[in-house]
Amino acid sequence: MLLENHSKLKVWLFGKPHFFYRFIPKNKEWKNAGRVPVPAPGSNGKMLFVTLPDGSKREFESAVSVADVAKSISTSLGKAAIAARLDDKLVDTSTVIDHDATLAIITEKDPEALEIVRHSTAHLMAQAVKELYPDAQVTIGPAIENGFYYDFSYKRPFTPEDLTAIEKRMDELAAKNIPIVRKEMKREDAIKFFLGLGEKYKAELIEAIPEGETISLYEQGDFVDLCRGPHVPSTGKLKVHKLMKVAGAYWRGDSKNEMLQRIYGTAWLKKDDLKAYLTMLEEAEKRDHRRLGKELDLFHLQEEAPGMIFWHAKGWALWQQVEKYMRTIYQDNGYDEVKAPQVLDRSLWERSGHWAKYRENMFTTESENRYYALKPMNCPGHIQIFNSALRSYRDLPMRIGEFGQCHRNEPSGSLHGLMRVRGFTQDDGHIFCTEDQILAECEAYSKLVKEVYHTFGFDNIAYKVATRPAMRIGEDAAWDKAEAALMQSLDALGLKYDILPGEGAFYGPKIEYHLKDCLGRSWQCGTIQVDFQMPGRLGAEYVAEDNTRKTPVMLHRAIIGSLERWIGMLIEHYAGAMPVWLAPVQVAIANITEHQADYVDEIAAKMKAAGLRVQKDVRNEKINYKIRELSLQKIPYIVVVGEKEREAGTVAVRARGGKDLGVMKLEDFIARVVDENAQKVNN
């Protein structure tokens, strides 16, 4: 129970009263709040054992904090400790151990450290904002890939000068090495506390927390925030950071709510890591596919079709090379290419579960009193193709694939060039098989993904198995078999993988294929999911060996995923300088004077007959100007012909990057490019 007592608040914790100073009306700070009490030494009369990762045990006479255990191991470890894993749960170093437990101290060498530092830095930024702009209200501030953000409600837009001031204050707070202290409150008390501070968003967040869950707060100096944690022990461990930009974000992601201001930042463990990241961002900006798409005349976007792509001739040539290659992959690996309708009746989406679970992301229409939806995915349509005939166990595995055009009503603020669109085409495939065939199909698929990525120039691939979530459907025995098949398929190929516990879909586990580009950025593209549920919901059956009807297992698989996004990645990976086999224009031919115009036509005709993509430049311009202009288009080869070349039937060849390959016989040069094209040689 919370009682007001003039200048104090009294909170009963662990059966004992603890006092908190009341809010100070002027700046509403929380002063000198009591720590959660530590159980009395030796209260259970037993020795306490802490087991470390190497199997050794440390013995204590009473309850002990994580920080004290770290110090007992070594002084240096005590100083380096960021957090800990206690009985496989991430905790603060201030956490008290009052039972026999396993413990792993987390330092900056551990993979968990960076996310904890980034989350703590988000709080540091919020503290700096509150000190500089007391009227600002804090909302949500998580760690994200490569950094963090925090959303604020404030009366005016934050400016670049504000970000500089906030960053400076963060440096000052980090230099003070302020302890970060975890506290717990009852739900009702925490709501009253934040409302007393004028933080209505925090109170709303607490109201949404289920009854019975622990409400934890973190205090650093005069700043108190709602958070589950864990956090670093003090602000002194948060010295390597930089604020990046401000963007708009709706409260709780709902466009009906207030537009907040989201400040993005990045945080690292070492200054060299921050420097390398900022350098990578500079290079990424140069490679931005939106800028290169315009410069290289590949595609454009416009307001009349938000999230839709206008492909220009050169961009569509690139698209066609990707699709052409993927079509050969289908044909060479036992897939039948199919095409399902774009628009399907609402009843089908209701039976598949999409209408209930995905309705807000679907474009819908109405005709003759019937409701339809543009397909956001291809799965239900492929099941209809499976259902179109009576299938036997002899027909399985049945592999079908489609370059299926899908539409999803993505929020306008999330749209990003080719990377996040509303209309896209997937190299979507589904394998209908028996349970006994899952392992073989998954093994073949993982091998295929590796081959395809290598062909496109990506060899740094991370494999991750997402296992059963808490909320799932289906029998555990089926989950056991599916998860084992996914892992065994990777083991058989000697591929190392990480486990993503609980991150599978509600209907089945999956493998995610994450590749890294030349800048070290990770992209999750391919996936294979084991689905025991949707085929049954949509009536898929086959006749088994014993003449009974059984439901097939459905493997959802995409190798490159969205072709739009994949092409955006390729543009940035190669900085627009595509390998010969993908380049929209493989060879540009330029004449020195008008007397060679006919020879340019002859060369172009022979190259096109050999299947090459050619561009002619017979403009009345100086040859150096032409070469310079063509070089900016990042064309792999520029062929220059003058009178000597015309008379000898040769060509002077310049490779991309200004490399002079000298004079060649026309037939020899064509053979070279044809071979490079066929071999799919990458830069």
Point out the residues that are catalytic: 379, 408, 426, 428, 430, 510, 556
Q: Residue 72's Cα: distance from chain center in Å?
A: 40
3-state helix, strand, coil in the chain (%, to 5): 35, 30, 35
Structure token digits, residue 604:
């172009």
Give CA–CA dist 603/589, Å, rounded: 8
What's the token pair of residue 206? 């607490």
- φ and ψ of 310, to 5 deg: -95, 105
**Which SS3 state, helix, strand or coil, does residue 627 take?**
helix
Instruction: Calculate helix-pair angle for 597-609, 666-679, nearest 10 degrees.
Output: 40
DSSP strand pairing (659-665 vs 650-655): antiparallel
Q: Which amino acid does the sequence have at 209?
A: I
Q: How far is it, in rounded angstroms, from Cα 589 to Cα 645?
A: 12
Q: Can you tell me the distance from the alpha carbon of 178 to that of 220, in angstroms, rounded to the nearest whole number?
A: 6
DSSP state string for 560-619: EEEHHHHHHHHHHHTTT---TTT-S-SEEEEESSGGGHHHHHHHHHHHHHTT--EEEE--
Largest pairwise CA distance in the chain: 104
Rounded to whole angstroms, how far apart are CA atoms 230 and 286? 37
466-to-110, 163, 499 alpha-carbon distances in Å:
21, 38, 6
Pair of tokens at residue 128: 């700096």
Cα separation of 75 and 78, whole Å? 5
CA 483 to mean position of chain CA atoms: 22
Residue with tokens 């589904």: 430
CB atoms within 10 A of CB 260: 20
Q: Measuring CA to CA, how many Å separate 217 from each of 186, 194, 226, 292, 633?
A: 11, 11, 5, 47, 56
Q: 519: burial class by Cβ within 10 Å (0-12, 13-18, 19+)?
A: middle
Integer angstrom CA distances of residue 83 from 36, 93, 121, 318: 18, 5, 14, 49
194 near 203, Cβ under 8 Å? yes
Q: Are 48 and 100 in contact (CB under 8 A)?
A: yes
